[in-house]
């Protein structure tokens, strides 16, 4: 297995990107290719002990910045690290591509210029993996498609179910539709029509509608929605957790006694923070393109990059792409 890493992805590229790749090469011993500005990557690699590690570098002369407009960057920077890296996967020179870069550009380059969609897939879906109160939930779509049709959502359900089963090793994953109520008659026309389609699918374990409370309660393994609503849900989860942390910090600091209490209970806060930390997950798979692509957060540190590489390994080992090809065309 060879994983291709975008060395120019994260906000602080190439520092965490290279460091994460070194950690991964050391832990798993398998070949890793760093794609990007060779001089910068080499300078960064020189700061690490890499003897015995199977790390090589492929030069890419252009960098896509977070501020670049996605479709423009995809079209006008054909020598970007994203373009070069995903082209390698498309040609079979690597098994997966990992990037913490501009999500929109990554989506456009994967879908339109390099890997392309798996035959039969209507639309690719961005996913998120997050902790619920008992394990993990996979959400799709969380932003690739603001407007969706029922058959898009049905495919998101199938692809996410395969991902949860083959990569995350969740047995017979429960797949649900996000809605404003659990009853069948709840939801938009899109939700209702998608529910009819998904109920009829024998390839997924569809359990009906769920509300955000059930999602975080761990009542489903996969939650499906259009990319607009999914994006609002994920960002609302993040915003509420951040706001609550901020309020707690402020109120704990407000009095000497609670400040002492806060210091003593610090290990508990740290464990909760770690549990809710997206960097522990590292990245999420882009479903529907013809190759494994893992997208990390722009603010990724080296641990996040290493964990994103783990997500790529799981998907490759689970033979996810072949399973989606078979599943979609059956």
Give the interface with a second copy as residue ranges (CB under 8 A): 132-133, 143, 146-147, 178, 180, 187-189, 211-213, 215-217, 227-229, 231-233, 235-248, 251-252, 254-255, 257-269, 271-272, 275-276
- Shortest separation between residue 44's beta carbon and a second copy, angstroms: 32
Comparison of 266 and 329: residue with beta carbon closer to a second copy: 266
Comparison of 43 and 275: residue with beta carbon closer to a second copy: 275
Comparison of 12 and 71: residue with beta carbon closer to a second copy: 71
Comparison of 39 and 240: residue with beta carbon closer to a second copy: 240
Do the Cβ atoms of 41 and 7 come closer than 8 Å? yes
Q: Of 140, 170, 161, which is closest to residue 205 (Cα–Cα)?
A: 161
Comparison of 101 and 187: residue with beta carbon closer to a second copy: 187
Comparison of 46 and 264: residue with beta carbon closer to a second copy: 264
Question: Which residues neighbour 34 within 8 Å (Cβ) at sequence distance 6 or greater?
Answer: 5, 7, 14, 17, 18, 21, 41, 45, 55, 56, 57, 58
Comparison of 83 and 131: residue with beta carbon closer to a second copy: 131
What sign has the CA pseudo-torsion 157, 123, 126, 22? positive
Could you write out the DSSP letters of every residue in 4-47? EEETT-STTTTHHHHHHHHHHHHHH---EEEEE-HHHHHHHHTT
- Shortest separation between residue 72's beta carbon and a second copy, angstroms: 13
Do the Cβ atoms of 71 and 52 come closer than 8 Å? no
- Shortest separation between residue 186's beta carbon and a second copy, angstroms: 8
- Shortest separation between residue 211's beta carbon and a second copy, angstroms: 6
Q: Of 248, 263, 261, 324, which is closest to residue 291 (Cα–Cα)?
A: 324
- Shortest separation between residue 290's beta carbon and a second copy, angstroms: 26
Comparison of 52 and 256: residue with beta carbon closer to a second copy: 256
The span from the CA of 244 to the CA of 249, in Å, is 9
- Shortest separation between residue 187's beta carbon and a second copy, angstroms: 7
- Shortest separation between residue 251's beta carbon and a second copy, angstroms: 4
The span from the CA of 324 to the CA of 330, in Å, is 10
Do the Cβ atoms of 285 and 163 come closer than 8 Å? yes
Q: Of 55, 69, 52, 54, which is closest to residue 17 (Cα–Cα)?
A: 55
> For residue 50, how many other CB atoms are within 10 A of its CB?
15
Q: Of 300, 303, 312, which is closest to residue 10 (Cα–Cα)?
A: 300
Distance of CA 258 to the CA centre of its chain: 38
Question: Which residues neighbour 310 within 8 Å (Cβ) at sequence distance 6 or greater?
Answer: 24, 282
- Shortest separation between residue 247's beta carbon and a second copy, angstroms: 5
- Shortest separation between residue 94's beta carbon and a second copy, angstroms: 31
Comparison of 196 and 275: residue with beta carbon closer to a second copy: 275
């Amino acid at each position: 297995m060879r994983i291709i890493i975008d060395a120019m992805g994260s906000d602080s590229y190439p520092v965490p990107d290279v460091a994460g790749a070194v950690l991964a090469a050391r832990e798993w011993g398998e070949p890793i290719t760093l794609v990007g500005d060779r001089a910068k990557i080499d300078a960064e690699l020189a700061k690490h002990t890499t003897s015995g590690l199977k790390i090589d570098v492929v030069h890419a002369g252009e960098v896509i910045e977070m501020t670049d407009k996605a479709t423009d960057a995809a079209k006008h920077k054909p020598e970007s690290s994203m373009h070069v890296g995903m082209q390698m996967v498309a040609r079979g020179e690597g098994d997966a591509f990992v990037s913490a870069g501009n999500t929109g550009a990554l989506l456009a380059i994967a879908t339109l210029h390099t890997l392309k969609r798996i035959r039969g897939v209507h639309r690719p879906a961005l996913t998120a993996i997050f902790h619920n109160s008992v394990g993990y939930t996979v959400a799709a779509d969380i932003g690739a498609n603001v407007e969706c049709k029922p058959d898009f959502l049905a495919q998101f359900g199938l692809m996410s179910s395969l991902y949860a089963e083959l990569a995350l090793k969740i047995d017979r994953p429960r797949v649900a539709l996000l809605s404003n109520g659990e009853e069948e008659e709840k939801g938009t026309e899109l939700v209702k029509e998608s529910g009819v389609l998904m109920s009829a699918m024998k390839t997924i374990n569809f359990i009906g509608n769920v509300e955000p409370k059930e999602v975080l309660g761990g009542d489903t393994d996969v939650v499906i929605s259009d990319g607009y609503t999914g994006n609002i849900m994920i960002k609302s989860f993040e915003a509420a957790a951040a706001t609550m942390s901020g309020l707690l910090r402020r109120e704990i600091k407000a009095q000497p006694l609670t400040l002492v209490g806060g210091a003593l209970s610090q290990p508990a806060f740290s464990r909760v923070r770690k549990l809710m930390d997206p960097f522990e997950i590292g990245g999420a798979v882009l479903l529907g393109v013809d190759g494994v692509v893992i997208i990390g957060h722009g603010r990724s540190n080296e641990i996040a990059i290493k964990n994103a590489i783990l997500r790529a390994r799981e998907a490759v080992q689970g033979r996810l792409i072949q399973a989606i090809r078979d599943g979609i065309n059956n």
